[in-house]
Amino acid sequence: MSDRYTRVAILLHWIIGLSIIALLVLGLTMEDFPKSMMFTAYMIHKSLGLTVLMLTLVRIFWRLTHKVPAMPETMKSWEKFAAHAVHLGLYFLMLALPLSGWAMVSSSARGYPTVFFGLFEWPHIPFLANIADIESKKEISHSIAEAHETLAWIAIVLIALHIGAALKHHIIDRDTVLTRMLPFLKPPSAKETVAS
């Protein structure tokens, strides 16, 4: 088995990861944008979120149909468990965040469209968009918005743990955890690993 992820897995990891970071930054700041920029910022946020949703589905399919490199034998059992738990949490969030955002927009009483990167109008979720009672619609949209925000903060914590653990493995443990996903990094040599 290869000691690195496939090129497709690496590409999907970095495109999705950097997109999520951009989404979190934009989500936390776009309400402070000037009014002239706010609509564009929201459209970019929604378009990028939907892109993450679609790429995550591709990534899950790829993950299920391709073997992943084994974790280093030097990793403790609790570290392996924690790594799996964080990965599962991140996969859940890569689906739940864009889906909750889509649901929030679909249930909004304002009825703003989502124009996917200015190319075409992305449809609302019908059963949410077609709620007749405006007050119920506002209440549902508000609840979904709160859930979306909570998920975003959980994502920030898990991403920080994910990055911190990867750096710890590379700098302190000097194993191959980070180099499996960064093709330009060389794995620590056996000599370096023993010396550390």
* Selection from 45, 55, 58 nearest residue 117 by Cα: 45
Q: Going residue by residue through the chain (196 aa), what tens digit of pLDDT does each one get?
A: 467 889 999 999 999 999 999 999 999 999 899 988 999 999 999 999 999 999 999 999 999 999 888 888 888 899 999 999 999 999 999 999 999 999 999 999 888 899 999 999 999 999 999 888 889 999 999 999 999 999 999 999 999 999 999 998 888 888 888 888 887 777 665 444 444 4
CA-based nearest residue to 122, from 105, 147, 97, 141: 105
Whether the model pTM is above 0.75: yes
CA distance 124 to 3: 42
SS3 content of the chain, % helix, strand, coil (to 5): 70, 5, 25
Q: Rounded to an integer, what distance in angstroms lies between the CA atom of residue 103 and that of residue 114? A: 12
Determine the 3-state secondary structure of 121 from DSSP: strand
